[in-house]
Amino acid sequence: MNELLRRLLFLPEQASTFARDVDNLHYFVILTTFVMSTAVGLTAIFFFIRYRRRSETQTTPHIEPKAWMEALFVGVPLIIFTAWFFLGYREFVRQYTPPIDSMDVYVMGKKWMWKFAYPDGPNSINVLRVPAGQNVRLLMTSRDVIHSFYVPEFRVKMDVLPGRYTQLWFNATTPGRYQIFCAEYCGAGHSIMRGEVIVLKPQEYEDWYSSQKRGLADRQDGQPTALDFAPPLGNLVDQGKRVAADQGCLKCHTTDGTRHIGPTWLDLYGRREKLSDGSVVVVDEAYMTESMMEPAAKIVEGFQPVMPSFQGKMTAPETAAVVEFIKSLQSDAVRTGPSEGPAYAPIRGR
Amino acid sequence: MSHEAEAGLPPGILGHHFSSLARQNEAARLGMWLFLATEILLFAGLFTGYAVYRFQFPEAFAECSRHLELTLGTVNTVVLITSSLTVALAIHFARTNRPRAAAACLVITILFALAFLGIKAVEYTAHFHEKSLPGKYYAFEEVKIPGAAMFFSLYFLMTGLHALHVIAGMIVLGFNCWHTLHGRYSSRYYTGLELGGMYWHLVDMVWIFLYPLLYLI
Amino acid sequence: MSESGHPTRELHPEDHHEENGHSAIPYLVVWILLLFFTVLTYLTGKQHLGTWALPIALAIACTKSALVAVIFMHLKDSSGSTRLVFGTSLVFVALLLFFTVADVATRFRPSTPAGAPFGTERSQPEGLLEHELPE
Amino acid sequence: MRLSEADSHALSGASPVPDYLHDGTTVMSWLNTRDHKRVGVMFLVSVIVFFFVGGLFALLIRFKLLQPGPFFMDALSYNRMFTLHGVVMIFLFLIPAIPSAFGNFVLPLMLGARDVAFPRLNLFSYYLYLTGAAVALWGMIHGGADTGWTFYTPYSSTTPTQVAPILLGAFILGFSSILTGLNFIVTVHTLRAPGLGWMKMPLFVWSAYATSVIQILATPVLAITLLIVTVERIGGFGLFDPARGGDPVLFQHMFWFYSHPAVYIMILPAMGVISECVCAFSRKNPFGYKAIAFSSLGIAFVGFFTWGHHLFVAGQSVFVGGAFGLLSMFVGIFTAIKVFNWVGTMYRGAISFKTPFAYICGFLYFIVFGGMTGVALATTSLDIHWHDTYFVVAHFHFIMVGASVMAFLAALHYWFPKMFGKVYHEGWGLVAASLIILGFNATFIPQFLLGNFGMPRRYYQYPEHFQALNVASTAGATLLGFGFLLIVIYLGIALKWGSRSTESNPWGSKGFEWLTASPPPTHNFDEIPTITQMPHDYRTHEPSGVIRVA
């Protein structure tokens, strides 16, 4: 039944965990629409024939609707539409609340191409490799105008805004190659800004990932251009270390746990910092980025607000690299589990 | 059958399609209130921008508003409130058949408006000198936190649009003053003057909201 | 809405001459009140009360504009429909403000730029015409 | 109102008063007219001209989409083509079409008034429309914008193409629409005929009143938004510049605060026309008059609460998305009430199947199907797959072309004898109607399926597997275009050489606008009628208000 309806409605393959549920709601909505419109149509046609005009001066009775009729006219659509809404909204919340254990990928949309960067792995252009059956969370931003990351087979879409992060997650079930479209108009190349999601079996993904991590430049997908998202060689953590050195962060922040002018970076990620105004904050990407751009906003207790702002001095990729570098500085050096994304704010506001 | 003959109205006042003068006055007032509703919603767009960016950059907005000329802003508020009074008095004099006093009040109102624009010009030149300008022209040394450019974009957009409306108000009051001097308004018919006055009161009301939001908080 | 139109064309009772007793006192009283409120908002503003500053300033501004609208603009003695128009326009201003700020308030945390999280130097709008599309 | 036989004879016996078309035939008498009927006719002519300009753009787009790769035009001109199709069709045709063209003509007649409240303002509104159109046309000739009719920043504030004139044109057209709305509200409040209470007003007046409320309250927000984008393009400083912390989603909020109610500006007057036509052609009193009247106001009011359903995937917060989704459901209910009551009106009526009634059937089918897909889009999770794909394109064309243009054509045929005193050829009318309904289905059903298939909108090139459906859609589009041409032909012939309609009320309708002669004299009514009964009350058989035109 599902396959028949899917083919009938020209729906693409169901290649992610969302696809089947969204399509079930789709069938329910389309069927109620057909039932309602045929009912209205048939009554109308019946009235055409039954009450044809017989003479030009034919008189007709004055009929007022009874209360129960009006209640019916309001009640039936109200019930149907609210039912649609609550089924839909439950799915919407599930689709826009990434689970904690999902694997992160940074996505950068730029005029007419997609760039993907794995936190401590390789980066690539227009090709996103993900393991099958694994929750993947995309943290997306754009370098210039609004784009929109859309994979029809996964039934996922989220706009990619300049100057802000937006997030999107999916769990690809069947391995294969699926096209990424840009769904928000972004200029002349809007229609050719197409990338590709390659869903690999978990084992194949691990092989590809480890080969990339060994920095085999030639096996990297696509030739990064000069304006590239990240410097050509090495992964994000190394870049973060180099950028931190260049920008002089390490003059005030140590990486081995000793206290210095600024708080130490060892085990900083995920720590509960007590601020000078008494409140406590969990250190996550947003806090780290904010502290780089706006140091005066939150001062850790016992430290002086002497840090300069790096607003405008560091480009997007460099900031992301420094954040990754800090996250990699854990005392239990070997970090086993997949990288935790930023703290997932609960739905009910911040 | 011209019906202006009765009631000693100046010619061309009562439209042929209105059954009575009272109906036409009521129509004019309702039409003016609808136009004022569009003006209110026009400024509502800017206030939405203010609300959103104040929410996102609270420190920048607080910091920048301290760098505005508070005394000049307060003087401007007093100027506009008093000009509102003189316009109300002008309508009062016209209703009680004292056109000369009404015209005098209108002239005072226009002078107040000029004073308001003058003070605004002084403030704008100060901003140009200290480079606290909107958007990409922003190079103000004292406030370096992000979002400051947003505050000044909003400041210039809001006060600029308001100043345009002050100028439009002056033109409208100018016509009203010219008509009052030519005896068009009397206790029988003063709607034209009343509409001009209502427009001016709206311009004052918008400034009443602009002043605390930009200068004080 | 009164259907007071009469088919015939003679004058209506309320067209009689305005009584001359229309006084200017209320305008002066309102003027004094407005000045008082301006001083009040000036003082409360100067102290920078923090979170309470905005509600107080808005409350004072609303009372001032209410005074202007009711007395100066004669809303007091104008017909119901004009008051309705003024009321609905305020309702829709509140509506626009409420939903827009609610959206910005409840977005997922890292998305709201605590200071534009990282510089997005706007790429120069490469001359669209001569920009060759990457094959 | 019973115009006794004596009066009508006395009236027609006297030297025939020249109707508004022949009361002064110099160009100046038209350009400087105070008569709401002439302003209405001028609006109608310019609106139809712009409809064909927009339609031409549409056909060019459909022609390009025959091929997946580059073909017939390059990416930039394709982007300009769909932008101009959007701008021309929405700002120059749909928003002024029924309110300004037919509303101006028919509203005072239905109220028993001699003219709108502010005749000079009415003419000024027409000249504002022409200036706005001229500015937009100038922008089009000098390259035209390539931002889509939605002008999303930061693309619209950074693209080097000519966006500023189109923004200014839309800004001026907004004011023309505000002035029309203002005029109608004041006319309804102050110029009703004696005896015509709020509950006796024709349903078209109710929907025109609701439309005017939206025009007054929504258009200024569009004006300020477009002004800010123009200032950002020219002056370099603006609210939506992401590099300085500006929020592009704020633009979308303020844009859609206008643009969703604008969708109701387009559909509400169409619903008013359909209410009138259904009652006239089934010779029956409106079934549930109060329900239809108050649901017009309901749509106008609740329509302002739902703009967020355009931003579900635009980075808007999930919580507010849910709130907007739920509120969008309620707007759907008011439309459902109207549809049920229209079908209820036909019950025990005397239905005569003329051309306007054919358009009514098309309208009913399209509004039910289009409306339901709209509510389906507002169930948040389905929108994730459908947003910005051809499903959305098909949905809003179902409402705008399927419902609004069908009602425009129904109005054109229903009031053709009233406006021009001529009768069109019924046979050709039915042929054109069926051609249009068929062509419309052939164009937009494939686009629903394209949307399901995942083809994003505004795509110059698309992957091969979408081609089949696109070819089907283009075929339908040519059929649709041909249908519209057919209408122009036979209405043109009727206008030029058609026989003068012998009686002033060829449909035998008891709407109030038929109380006076067709075409009516300049001052509408020799003596303002006193209304004693509801409109469309067919219990008494003799046609009231039939005035033999000498």
pLDDT tens profile D492-515: 999 888 888 777 788 888 888 888
Q: CB contact, 8 Å: C47 with chain B?
A: no
Provide mean pLDDT across the span D40-57. Answer: 95
Provide mean pLDDT across the span B198-214. Answer: 94
pLDDT at position D212 over 60: yes
**Residue C55: is it exposed, middle or buried by C-beta count within 10 angstroms (0-12/13-18/19+)?**
exposed
Count of B-D CB contacts under 8 Å: 119
Based on the fold, state whether residues A107 and A200 are members of the same structural domain: yes
pLDDT at position B34 over 90: yes
pLDDT at A233 (0 to 100): 38
CB-based contacts of D361, cutoff 8 Å, min separation 6: A44, D437
Q: What is the pTM of this model?
A: 0.84
Beta-carbon separation of B59 and A309 below 8 A: no
Within-domain flag for A271: yes
**Nearest-CA residue of chain B relative to D225?**
B45
pLDDT at D153 (0 to 100): 87
| Unique residue bearing structure tokens 């006794």 | D4
Q: CB contact, 8 Å: D320 with chain C?
A: yes
Q: CB contact, 8 Å: B124 with chain D?
A: no
A214 lies in which domain range?
103-219
Q: CB contact, 8 Å: D380 with chain A?
A: yes
Q: Residue D214 — left, alpha, or beta (φ > 0 → left; ψ -120 to 50 → alpha)?
A: alpha
Q: Nearest C-alpha of chain B: how many angstroms from C37?
A: 10
Task: Tell me the C-alpha distance between D217 and D189, whole Å.
Answer: 17
- Nearest-CB residue to B209 (from C61, C92, C115): C61
Q: Nearest C-alpha of chain C: how many angstroms from A282?
A: 12
Based on the fold, state whether residues A202 and A249 are members of the same structural domain: no
- Give the number of other CB atoms < 10 A from CB of residue D11: 18
Q: CB contact, 8 Å: B59 with chain A?
A: yes
Q: Which fold has domain D5-16+36-515?
A: Cytochrome C Oxidase; Chain A (1.20.210)
Contacts of C71 in chain B (CB under 8 A): 88
pLDDT at position D173 over 60: yes
Within-domain flag for B38: yes
- The b-or-e profile of D314-333 (16+ CB within 10 A means b, else e) is bbbbbbbbbbbbbbbbbbbb
Based on the fold, state whether residues A109 and A42 are members of the same structural domain: no
- Nearest-CB residue to C114 (from A113, A188, A297): A297
| Unique residue bearing structure tokens 């104040």 | B54
Based on the fold, state whether residues A133 and A75 are members of the same structural domain: no
Q: CB contact, 8 Å: D256 with chain C?
A: no
Give the model's confidence band at D1: pLDDT under 50 very low, under 70 low, under 90 confident, else very high. very low
Count of A-D CB contacts under 8 Å: 278
Report the run of H or E that residue A156 belongs to, with start and end: strand A156-160
Chains that touch B (3 or more CB pairs under 8 A): A, C, D
pLDDT at position D157 over 50: yes
Beta-carbon separation of B216 and C53 below 8 A: yes
Task: Report the CATH number at residue B93.
Answer: 1.20.120.80
Within-domain flag for B6: no
Question: pLDDT 10s digit of each residue in chain A, 350 long?
Answer: 888 999 899 999 999 998 999 999 999 999 998 898 888 888 988 998 888 888 877 888 888 888 898 899 899 999 999 999 999 999 999 998 888 888 888 898 888 889 888 877 677 888 999 999 999 999 888 888 999 999 999 999 999 988 888 889 999 999 999 999 999 999 888 988 999 999 999 999 888 888 877 765 444 454 444 333 333 334 567 677 778 877 888 778 877 777 777 888 877 877 788 888 878 888 887 888 888 888 877 888 878 877 888 877 777 777 877 887 887 776 643 333 333 333 333 333 22
The total of structural domains in chain A comes to 3
CB-based contacts of A294, cutoff 8 Å, min separation 6: A309, A311, B145, B146, C114, C115
Beta-carbon separation of C128 and D161 below 8 A: yes
Count of A-B CB contacts under 8 Å: 9
Task: Tell me the C-alpha distance between A11 and A278, whole Å.
Answer: 54
Task: Report the CATH number at residue A300.
Answer: 1.10.760.10
Provide mean pLDDT across the span B126-142. Answer: 83
Within-domain flag for B11: no
Within-domain flag for A339: no
B204, B198, B206: which is closest to B35 by C-alpha? B198
Task: Tell me the C-alpha distance between A30 and A2, whole Å.
Answer: 13
Beta-carbon separation of D237 and B35 below 8 A: no
Based on the fold, state whether residues A121 and A165 are members of the same structural domain: yes
Give the model's confidence band at D16: pLDDT under 50 very low, under 70 low, under 90 confident, else very high. low
Q: Which of A157, A184, A219 is the last residue of a domain?
A: A219
Task: Report the CATH number at residue A144.
Answer: 2.60.40.420
Mean of all residue pLDDT scores within chain B: 88
Q: Which stretches of chain C score pLDDT less than 50? A: 1-20, 113-135
Q: CB contact, 8 Å: D294 with chain A?
A: no
Beta-carbon separation of A188 and C108 below 8 A: no
Q: What letter would DSSP give residue A253?
A: -
D88, D92, D87, D90: which is closest to D43 by C-alpha? D92
